[in-house]
Structure formats: C-alpha cells, structure tokens
C-alpha cells in the first residue's frame, strides 16, 4: 500500500497525518495514542487532535483494554469503527465468484458467493450477477461501499482494469474495470489474482515482516505475485506475475495460452489430479480431501507426487534465481499439498538454487489465508484510495 505524500500546507499535513493514522489502525489493529505517536513520529498533541477528529466523525472509538498491566489508569485503545469505511471485494475464479463487504480494519461484514459454469462465465453474466449481489449485500448489512476491488485470474491492465486475457475463463479484451464502475456507481480497481494474493499475505498473512516475497497460486492455472522492497512489483502496465507460463518442458502439453510446456501444465490443478490418478475435472473439494487423506499415510504422498514435486522444484528454482525473494508463499492448491511434499520442495529449491544458497536459504511457507486470500487482497486494493479520503 502506498503511503500518502506529505504536503507543506497545514491542510495537507492534517490529511497526511489522518491517512497515516488510519492506515496504521487498518493494517496493524488497535493501539494506544502513545504507540501511534511513537510509530508515526508525531507529537502527542498532534495525535490527540487527529484521534479526536476521527472519533467525532465516528471513524474510530476508544476503549479500555481487556488486559491490563501495572497499576494506575490504563491507556485507552484506539479502534477503527468497521462500518465507517466499507469496500466491496470481488474474487472472480474459474469455478466460483466470491464477494464480501469489508470494513476498515479488515473485518468481513457479510459475503455472497456462487458457482461458475461454462455457460455462466461470460463477462456480461458475471458483471450482472456482481451488481445484483452487491445490492443484496447493501440491503442486508445497511452499508454502502466507498470503493471496489476485484481479483481476476488473468492479465490485467492496472490503469483501467482491462482484462487483456484470462485464458482459463475464456476472456479476451474485457473492459471489466469500466463496466463494473458503470454498474456499481463506484470506481472499480481490478488486479491480477496472484498479485492481490501477494498483497494480502504482505499485509495480513504470513509475509507481514517480509520486504521481498513471491506468492504462488495454484488453481486451474498458476500465477505469481511479487513484493519487492515492500511494494508490489507490477511492471509495464501492471503486466507482471505470469509465472505459470515459464517454459519448463519444451515437449510438454499444450497450454491454454497457446504455448507448449508451460509450468502450469505440470503443476496446475489438472496436473495434480493426474498425479493422484483422478479425472482432470474432479471437483475441488474431492481433490483437497484426497490430499488430506494422503498426508495421513506416511510415504504415500511422496510416492504419488514424486514427479509433480519435481516439476514444482524446476519452476521454483528459476523463480528464486530470478527474483531472489526472502520468502515464497504457497497459496490455493499449493497450500493443500501434504507437508512432506512441501518440505521436499523447500529442501530441493534451497539445494539447487544459487540465490537461495547465497542468502542462506529462501524461506517457504504455506498461506494461512486459505481461499479468502485473494478476496482479502481485493479489499486491500479497494482501500488504498479510500483510506486517504475518509
């Protein structure tokens, strides 16, 4: 999340301080005025003025902490009021759309979801259903969103939310950002799903303390999101992170993208089903249940997924050598892999990657956010402009 720029005029300084304080509460949770002053580098009178103003506007409240230490009067905690700033988060997947109204501080106030089938994946159908579900959420919760964030499994132009291509959805040149903005009446920010997964992990997941990380997401396809120096790496036009289309096997299977031997053809959902002896169209729940049962039988997962793990390593060694992350986060189906398989992949990457050996071993962790990761990322994308305007 980009920090607001500071200004020289008093009004600019007040807006800057207000946005910085809200961002701190939104991302890191409640804290005392003294802690805010220390972390933001502001004097106590400035913090008092900002907190008092936000409290008067109903954006924050103050409360006595449930746990007290020491004698004397306890310091009050400053807490964001979730319904004072609300965004709509939308996670469009190949098989499902998930939506949630999210309040400041990251609290999910309510959600809807529905399954996508081949006949309901058309952009117009999805947009219409999003608009209808958004209205239902507004009525159920009695809130109105101030911003919209959308996650899509495809190549997205960040400037205007154009989905250049989402092969697994069958979408090409879809003006998703402008079309959703028109039907929802709020500016819709659209991002690649893996990029938003990386943002979610960096702000609310296992990568909160990592400045350089790669998030890898396995669904039908494979995508990657990169945080470099604490900021999202987006490349020209926002087109970065299509790690699933690294060429790993020149004589391999045809890929949705039109190439042959892409990494996702060896480690995506269909490949994982094949490795387990299941049909490629096996429902996600059945696939995850099979992975869990494998983990309970020592050695079984390592045997069945030996080749699969080898292809994971082949792609990850290239990713680590190119990007030199301190942390790799495995999301979606990768997060459901048996621990022994993840451990093998981690050890092999550390052994075979020149960069990993140089830095003493690149860490590899499984995402704790589950299927909500990209929804959380979409919410954070929407909050970026909202927090500066509350």
Q: What is the pLDDT of residue 68?
A: 61
Return all residues near 82 (Cβ < 8 A) that are at least 6 apart.
103, 104, 105, 107, 109
Instruction: Give the integer Cα–Cα distance in Å for 208 and 203.
Output: 5
Q: What is the pLDDT of residue 64?
A: 85
Cα–Cα distances (Å) from 340 to 229, 302, 343, in that order, read: 31, 7, 5
Instruction: Give the integer Cα–Cα distance in Å for 294 and 301.
Output: 5
Pick the CATH number of 208-368 from 3.40.50.720, 3.60.150.10, 3.90.180.10, 3.30.420.40: 3.30.420.40
Q: What is the pLDDT of residue 5?
A: 45
CATH code assigned to 84-196+373-387: 3.30.420.40
Q: What is the pLDDT of residue 2?
A: 47
Q: What is the pLDDT of residue 90?
A: 98
Q: What is the pLDDT of residue 20?
A: 94
Average pLDDT per run of 10 along the chain, which is 390 residues long? 51 89 95 94 93 95 76 79 96 95 96 88 95 97 97 92 91 97 96 95 95 92 92 81 92 90 95 95 93 91 95 96 94 95 96 88 92 96 90
- What is the fold of 10-80? Arc Repressor Mutant, subunit A (1.10.10)
Cα–Cα distances (Å) from 202 to 149, 157, 293, 369, 389, in that order, read: 17, 22, 30, 11, 23
Instruction: Give the integer Cα–Cα distance in Å for 65 and 84.
Output: 21
Do the domains 208-368 and 84-196+373-387 match in fold? Answer: yes
Domain boundaries, the chain: 10-80, 84-196+373-387, 208-368
């Amino acid at each position: 999340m980009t920090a607001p720029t500071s200004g020289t005029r008093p009004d600019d300084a007040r807006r800057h301080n207000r946005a910085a304080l809200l961002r701190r509460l939104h991302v890191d949770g409640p804290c005392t005025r003294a802690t805010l002053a220390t972390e933001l580098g502001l004097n106590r009178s400035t913090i008092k003025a900002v907190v008092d103003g936000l409290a008067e506007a109903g954006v924050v409240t103050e409360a006595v902490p449930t746990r007290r230490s020491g004698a004397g009067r306890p310091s009050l905690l400053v807490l964001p009021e979730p319904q004072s700033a609300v965004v709509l988060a939308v996670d469009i997947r190949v098989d499902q759309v998930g939506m949630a109204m999210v309040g400041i501080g990251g609290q999910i106030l309510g959600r809807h979801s529905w399954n996508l089938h081949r006949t309901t994946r058309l952009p117009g159908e999805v947009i219409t259903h999003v608009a209808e579900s958004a209205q239902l959420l507004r009525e159920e919760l009695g809130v109105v969103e101030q911003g919209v964030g959308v996650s899509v499994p495809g190549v997205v132009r960040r400037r205007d939310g154009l989905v250049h291509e989402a092969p697994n959805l069958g979408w090409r040149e879809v003006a998703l950002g402008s079309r959703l903005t028109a039907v929802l009446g709020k500016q819709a920010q659209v991002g690649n799903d893996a990029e938003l997964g990386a943002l979610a992990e960096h702000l609310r997941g296992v990568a909160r303390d990592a400045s350089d990380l790669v998030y890898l997401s396995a669904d039908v396809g494979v995508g990657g999101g990169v945080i470099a120096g604490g900021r999202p790496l987006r490349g020209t036009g926002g087109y970065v992170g299509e790690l699933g289309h690294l060429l790993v096997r020149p004589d391999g299977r045809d890929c949705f993208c039109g190439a042959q031997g892409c990494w996702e053809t060896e480690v995506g959902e269909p490949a994982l089903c094949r490795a387990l002896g299941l049909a490629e169209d096996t429902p996600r729940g059945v696939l995850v249940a099979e992975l869990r049962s494998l983990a309970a039988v020592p050695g079984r997962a390592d045997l069945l997924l030996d080749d699969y793990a080898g292809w994971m390593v082949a792609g990850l060694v290239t990713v680590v050598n190119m990007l030199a992350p301190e942390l790799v986060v495995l999301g979606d189906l990768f997060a459901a892999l048996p621990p022994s398989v993840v451990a093998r992949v981690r050890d092999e990457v550390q052994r075979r990657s020149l960069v990993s050996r140089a830095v003493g071993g690149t860490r590899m962790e499984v995402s704790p956010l589950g299927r909500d990761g990209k929804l959380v990322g979409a919410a954070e994308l929407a909050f970026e402009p909202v927090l500066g305007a509350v």
